[in-house]
Structure 1
Amino acid sequence: MSDHLEEVLRSTLGHASELAPHAPSGLSTHIARRSRVRRMRAQALVAAAAVVVIAGGATMAVRGAGHDSTAVNPSATPSPAVTEMRIPASVEKVWPEAVWKIPAKLSGGRKFEPRGFIDDHTLLLETWESFEKANAIYAYDLDSGRVRKVTNIRTSKGMYASGYVAGGGRIVWQTVDEARSEPVTSFWSAPVAGGKATAVATERVVKGRGDQLAVVGDRLAFSLLDGGVFTVPLDGGAVEPVTGAAAHHILRWPWVGTPDRYATPEGKASFEELLNVETGETSRAVVHPEEQLVRCGATMCIGAKGDHTSFYRLRDGSQERPLPPSSGSGLARDRFLTVYLPNPPGGQALYDLVTGKSGDLGLRPGVKGQSFMVEPGFGDGRMVAYPLGKEYVIIDLAKIR
């Protein structure tokens, strides 16, 4: 995680302190001191449902990616202005077509992490051998509740799996070997139907930490945390840089941009500059000097003004609207984010910028003031998933119209 994301977390915790019971003193300082590499690895997930546990009980849920060539300035109009929230109905009542609740453990008591959608009714689940060490991935049928193993995953000490994506009848992911003096990223695939994991052979070592992945036809596209977008055949072969994207990161294929959401320079918006690698179209978001923590997607930006009030608008600066206090850095599918609910009862709601609808996530501060913080929007954010009691709540944002 970069200094920018640390700043987002400080800001988020600052907003939360106004609306929820106070966390222990020194919480944000403790967060800022955590290992940069560990946090970057935890955030660098595509088509993922990783849950990053933050000191003091806050939790950030990071979600997946997909393929969408939506134009950067759509004709859709943002919803009317909303500056304060009331307690809405639950997400499953507001969007019943998009919400599931599943047991939080597999048979035998095995814990798992949701990592994305294989298709419209199948989840990809990852199980761990030990903390952050994956040992297998499974397919979970949301219609029947049936679970089947896709493949085993083997990683050596200091190597971590992440970035699961589905495409072309395969599940593809990356492993980052951080035991070396310079991290190295490798790529793997397994048939969706199940079978042995095989390496996606590259003609040269991929140096650096892998960031986002996307399956594009018969090729795997990937970006690196330090910048640069590349492709390689799914069957293995030459790693080829994408023209014009030497400093870019995958936002939502075919859109790539700079700077990324982890290391945004002072005064710059995340994904301020975009490039459509299929059409050559470019876009530069409007950002005003006094604005802070501006995060942009393919069509829309959110951020804060100098007086700390929040806003959202289209990338060209038009149709600006005020926002209620939002929960940090998440902006999923250019329309979804989480906002804080009044305290009591506290908690968060999922808010749709396009329709103005919101749904209560059901999370509440505990008796010691601890709470979970759900952040959609890392990757394109199709999935929102978080534990609630003995269940996992799964939200497919692609099903919300």
Structure 2
Amino acid sequence: MTYDRSEAELARTLAGAADAAPPPVGDLLTAVHRRRGRRTRRRVQSALAVAGVIAVIGGGTAVARGTFSSGGGEGRILADATATATTSVGPTGTGTGKIAIRPAAEVWPAAVTKIPIKTADGWRYRPVAGLSATELLLVAESSFEKAGRLEAYDTAARRSTVLTDTPAPEGVKGYFVQAVEVGSEYIAWWGETPNNSDKWADFWVVPRAGGTAKQVGQVTGDLSEVERIGVTADSVVWSAAGGGIYRMPLAGGSPEKIAGTDGLHLMSWPWAVDVANGREGEGEQKNQTKVVNLETGQTTEVNVPDGVQGLRCGPVWCFGKEKDQENNASVVQRVDGSDRKSPPDLSAWGGGHHLARGFGLFQVSGVVGRDARGEEIEDAQAPLAAVYDPVTGTTAGIGKRDPSGGGGYGTGTSSSPTSVLYWDEGQRQVEKCRKVDATSVPRPPGEPVPTGKVTSCTTTVEGGGKEYTVVNLLAVPPSE
């Protein structure tokens, strides 16, 4: 027999199962959406939900989406992992619709390039941000999420230059570099020991041209709950999870709170906002109400229209979603509420829509209709996500979708909204399904125990590992 339940219930089941999954091995570009931060100290726990066994019951498609915590990583990887159950109901219909979003390589050819995934000595690159239209800042990792050095990669000459090593402080065990930030004169980063109970963090800087990294200082207690950092000509700045923005002189010294920043959170120096960064901090549904320039002290109120939730704003543009819309329809507007629009085919699921230079990042469902059984029909050529230019309305596709609808892409690990997105076009998700006893499938508490056989599918990643396709938004011609 088959045991039917809704996709929402399946998603909840998968999310719960993910929390109990063992840690993965290797670089799971297509497997997880990782977040940095001390508030969740566990290692990535996504093997069951994405890279391991996904159990799907009955007809339809269950999509395992979400955020899985990371103990040591410097950044995040976003993925869409889709497992489709097979039943004997009948053949699936075909659709003729297409998602009208062209790949980024067609929209902005000068901004798309290829870089090696591994260094000459076998370490693995993780993109951070653009340094210029033709230079990328990369972290070289000696092992999973273990940053060993920073390199500048010249996309025109196709060669890299080592800028600095990223050492652990002497005597500190379990140290991991976290977010890296590019300033006008310096590159800065912070680190912590995320897999123990210490409330401790430190800050480092190196000139943009490279050199020996210098530890600026250390903080403990609430000040170590770092959200984002920035770097100026004379200070490292950061916001704490509980609100408030602090600075520490590059020459060393005690941290001090910037006056008037109670309840504020750093977005990208000098801009601060009144909602916490990411989904760990405050509810996704909360709307931002102001943007503050910390250099001038000017506060701009956000015009939040009725029917909008999760509105997040930079200095000029805001991104959010319409209330009570199952498809998470996106909303784009200026801070003052003008130029409001809802771009087609873009979903505001999840957080972190802001990219560098005012661009927005949205998911693309790929669904173009339903067949005779009511099953969703996807455009297999649709991108996984899209970069949206709110000034021109230009949309550029990101990532490569597998025939099954899965796939993955990464965002640069910069502390500020990133200027880099990347993916491995050689990777693919391979799904193998078999019949198992229904009693072996995870189910929500209180549901009756099913009987009979169900389809259990294992999704693994194969291929790839040679080159990343990278979109550098600093190479996109300005539109405003």
TM range (shorter): 0.7 to 0.9
Alignment of 1:7-86 (within 5 A): 26-30=13-17, 42-43=35-36, 55-56=49-50, 62=76, 86=99
Change (3 A) 1:181 1:29: closer
2:354 aligns to what? Answer: 331
Offset of residue 363 of structure 1:
0.9
- Quote the Cα distance in structure 2 between the aligned partners of 1:97 and 1:141: 14
Offset of residue 95 of structure 1:
0.6
Letter in 1 for 2:108: W
2:135 aligns to what? Answer: 122
| Bigger mean CA deviation after superposition, 228-237 or 296-305 | 296-305
Offset of residue 373 of structure 1:
5.3
C-alpha distance after superposition, 1:78-120 (max 9, x if no partner): xxxxxx9734332122112222111222224321111123344
Tell me the secondary structure at the aligned position of residue 319 of structure 2: strand
Partner residue of 1:351 out of 373, 388, 393: 388
* TM-score when normalising by structure 2: 0.63
- Quote the Cα distance in structure 1 between the aligned partners of 2:402 and 2:137: 29
Query: Which structure's relative contact order is higher, taking Cα pairs within 8 Å and 6+ residues apart?
Result: 1
Partner residue of 2:407 out of 350, 371, 374: 371
C-alpha distance after superposition, 1:184-239 (max 9, x if no partner): 11111234444332211369887322221222222222112332211122121232
Maintained 8 Å contact 1:59/1:372: no
Offset of residue 245 of structure 1:
0.9
* TM-score when normalising by structure 1: 0.75
C-alpha distance after superposition, 1:265-296 (max 9, x if no partner): 47522x43221112221123233565333332
Change (3 A) 1:379 1:27: farther
Tell me whether 1:315 sits opposite 2:315 in the alignment: no
Letter in 2 for 1:317: G
Offset of residue 141 of structure 1:
1.6
Letter in 2 for 1:170: Y
Partner residue of 2:178 out of 134, 144, 162: 162
Tell me the secondary structure at the aligned position of residue 474 of structure 2: helix
C-alpha distance after superposition, 1:320-379 (max 9, x if no partner): 212333253222243322341442214333332221222232411255x53225568973
1:380 aligns to what? Answer: 417
Offset of residue 179 of structure 1:
5.4
- Quote the Cα distance in structure 2 between the aligned partners of 1:147 and 1:374: 20
Tell me whether 1:241 sits opposite 2:257 in the alignment: yes
- Quote the Cα distance in structure 2 between the aligned partners of 1:102 and 1:52: 28
Number of corresponding residues: 353
1:259 aligns to what? Answer: 275
Letter in 1 for 2:337: G
Maintained 8 Å contact 1:220/1:231: yes
Alignment of 1:254-293 (within 5 A): 254-262=270-278, 263-265=281-283, 268-269=286-287, 271-288=288-305, 290-293=307-310
Maintained 8 Å contact 1:118/1:166: yes
Change (3 A) 1:317 1:195: closer
Tell me the secondary structure at the aligned position of residue 27 of structure 1: helix
Maintained 8 Å contact 2:133/2:474: no
Gaps of 5+ in 2: 1-5, 23-31, 39-43, 52-64, 68-74, 78-96, 368-377, 427-465
CA RMSD of aligned residues (A): 3.7
1:186 aligns to what? Answer: 202
Gaps of 5+ in 1: 1-13, 46-50, 64-83
Maintained 8 Å contact 2:267/2:277: no
C-alpha distance after superposition, 1:9-46 (max 9, x if no partner): xxxxx9xx89xxxx9883334457799xxx9983459x
1:399 aligns to what? Answer: 475
Tell me the secondary structure at the aligned position of residue 217 of structure 1: coil
Change (3 A) 1:351 1:288: closer
Maintained 8 Å contact 1:177/1:184: yes
2:214 aligns to what? Answer: 198
Change (3 A) 1:374 1:175: closer
- Quote the Cα distance in structure 1 between the aligned partners of 2:158 and 2:267: 32
Maintained 8 Å contact 1:326/1:337: no
Partner residue of 2:103 out of 90, 93, 96: 90
- Quote the Cα distance in structure 1 between the aligned partners of 2:415 and 2:182: 17
1:9 aligns to what? Answer: none
Change (3 A) 1:280 1:169: closer
2:247 aligns to what? Answer: 231
Change (3 A) 1:96 1:397: same
Maintained 8 Å contact 1:303/1:311: yes
Letter in 1 for 2:109: P
Alignment of 1:98-113 (within 5 A): 98-113=111-126
- Quote the Cα distance in structure 2 between the aligned partners of 1:119 and 1:373: 22
Change (3 A) 1:352 1:204: closer
Offset of residue 173 of structure 1:
0.9
- Quote the Cα distance in structure 1 between the aligned partners of 2:209 and 2:411: 31
Maintained 8 Å contact 1:116/1:123: yes
2:146 aligns to what? Answer: 133
Letter in 1 for 2:286: K
Letter in 1 for 2:164: T
Tell me the secondary structure at the aligned position of residue 321 of structure 1: coil
Maintained 8 Å contact 1:185/1:206: no
